[in-house]
Chains A and B, each alone.
Chain A
Amino acid sequence: MNTNSNTYTFLYASVMVLIVAAVLSFTALQLKPRQNKNREIEKKQDILKAVGVTSTPADAEKLYDQYIVKAFTVSAEGNVKSEDKEEAFKVDLKKEGSKDLNERNLPVFVFNKEGVGEKMILPVRGKGMWGPIWGYISMEKDGNTIFGATFAHKGETPGLGAEIATPAFQDQFVGKQIFDKSGKFTSIILVKGTAKGNPHQFDAVSGGTVTSKGFEAMLLDNLGSYEKFLKSSK
């Protein structure tokens, strides 16, 4: 057979594309439920991590049900919109972020464990250098002091922007405050290497300037939309 004829080449390419497309879409369809489940479990693990509860993929769901006593959504005005725990969990921050501030559904997860007390967990989401970055911040009952935080990213550069997902970066947020002494919302801003001791600043990642800037904007935007709710819950 002449493998260089036009007909053969066209046929070969068409058949190859069909086979590959079939194999890939079959795999994607088959694996989708498992992948979604993994994502849900990861989200529950992340929420728990923000209050310092470490979980494994196996026990994350059980611990989540146990410690997250309620979850609800609020509006930017600070009013409760829905008390449904499941609904609050399913809120897609990506969609909410593109809405007007007044129309957003802002999820709040309430954690309670004996010996630790009640904490509020707020999700945040923003843009890094290569893709989305997101995380969960747990607040003390005063709605001002950060109790713990965890952050993740889709594809920041390892060793640089990806450092936001390391404990070393995340631990510096413990004890920071998002309102200043006069009660004005200040968020937490980025500085280079001198944040220790200042409750309203965090240290940038060296070599990860774009990620750090996006990170700062994420905190300002997301925590800002909870401003009224946090003030009213004080």
Chain B
Amino acid sequence: MSDKEPLFSAKNRKLLTNPLGSDNPITVQVLGICSALAVTAKLEPAIVLSISVMAVLALANVIVSLLRNTIPSRIRIIVQLVVVAALVILVDQILKAFAYDVSKQLSVFVGLIITNCIIMGRLEAFALGNRPWPAFLDGIGNAAGYGLILVVVAFFRELLGSGTLYGFHVIPQAVYDMGYENNGLMILPPMALVVVGIIIWVQRSKDKSLIESN
């Protein structure tokens, strides 16, 4: 490194914080919507998946960034896919051997990480053109931004749909006795889209610069 840039320079810090707000992968880049619908019926899977995505995205970003000058551009998507798929299988195998309970919780979602558009999107848009360290920060930042939205959506869906949070009942029985009912629609995938839509609406009415001109 010729330019002695501090590890957490202002530019690098931005890589971490931008995806949480003005460059959020779900609400602004519109990536990873599919998994946001699938896993947000409950808080717990949403949190576990966010952490797994963070591990895979940060590692994949670093590996692709290290290889970036050797990858033939015509097969770069295939190379990225192989890196991501191999990492996901490794994570899955290691979890099964050493953290069996966690792997049971994740079940199909570990496999779903491969198809998460955020990962391919960040590899293609960032890791291919940047050094490993910024790529690592970009991976952590984007996964955190993704996780943040997942948790917010899951919070509302679990609270209104099942009356629980992280599996614990939070709405007292007295409220049910007065005629309140859990909204079954919240558990179904369409409501995840509506909640994500509401979040996008709130975010854009606060930050006008995100609104497209046309």
A interface residue numbers (CB < 8 A to B): 3-4, 8-9, 12-13, 16-17, 20, 23-24, 27-28, 31, 34-35, 38, 42, 57, 130, 152-160, 162, 206-207
- A-B contacts besides A31-B94, A155-B107, A207-B188, 5 pairs, CB < 8 Å: A16-B79, A27-B93, A31-B96, A38-B100, A57-B100
Residues of A within 8 A of B29 (CB): none
The 6 listed contacts between A and B (C-beta, < 8 Å) are A16-B82, A31-B93, A31-B97, A157-B38, A159-B158, A206-B184
Q: Contact between B82 and A20 (Cβ–Cβ < 8 Å)? A: yes
Of the candidates B70, B72, B98, B104, the one whose C-beta lies within 8 Å of that of A34 is: B98
User: Residues 86-115 of chain B: 1 if any A CB is under 8 Å from the residue's CB, otherwise 0?
Assistant: 100110011011101100100110000000
Say yes or no: A9-B93 contact (C-beta < 8 A), given A34-B98, A157-B38. no
Q: Contact between B41 and A4 (Cβ–Cβ < 8 Å)? A: no
Q: Contact between B86 and A20 (Cβ–Cβ < 8 Å)? A: yes
> For chains A and B in complex, what number of residue pairs have CB atoms within 8 angstroms?
81
Instruction: Give the CA-CA distance A159 to B89 in the complex, in Å.
Output: 25
Asked whether any CB of chain A lies closer than 8 Å to the CB of B127, the reply is no
Say yes or no: A12-B72 contact (C-beta < 8 A), given A35-B97, A154-B107. yes
Residues of B within 8 A of A206 (CB): 184, 187
Q: Contact between A27 and B75 (Cβ–Cβ < 8 Å)? A: no
Asked whether any CB of chain A lies closer than 8 Å to the CB of B45, the reply is yes
Task: Determine chain B's interface SS by DSSP, over half rule.
Answer: helix
Q: Which 6 residue pairs are nearest across A and B when measured between Cβ atoms?
A: A159-B41, A155-B108, A31-B97, A34-B97, A38-B100, A9-B72
Residues of B within 8 A of A35 (CB): 93, 96-97, 100
Residues of A within 8 A of B72 (CB): 3-4, 8-9, 12
Residues of A within 8 A of B73 (CB): 3-4
Q: Contact between A24 and B187 (Cβ–Cβ < 8 Å)? A: no
Residue of A nearest to B158 (CB): A159
Instruction: Give the CA-CA distance A155 to B109 in the complex, in Å.
Output: 9
Q: Contact between B94 and A23 (Cβ–Cβ < 8 Å)? A: no
Q: Contact between B187 and A12 (Cβ–Cβ < 8 Å)? A: no
- Report A153 CB to chain B, min CB distance, Å: 8
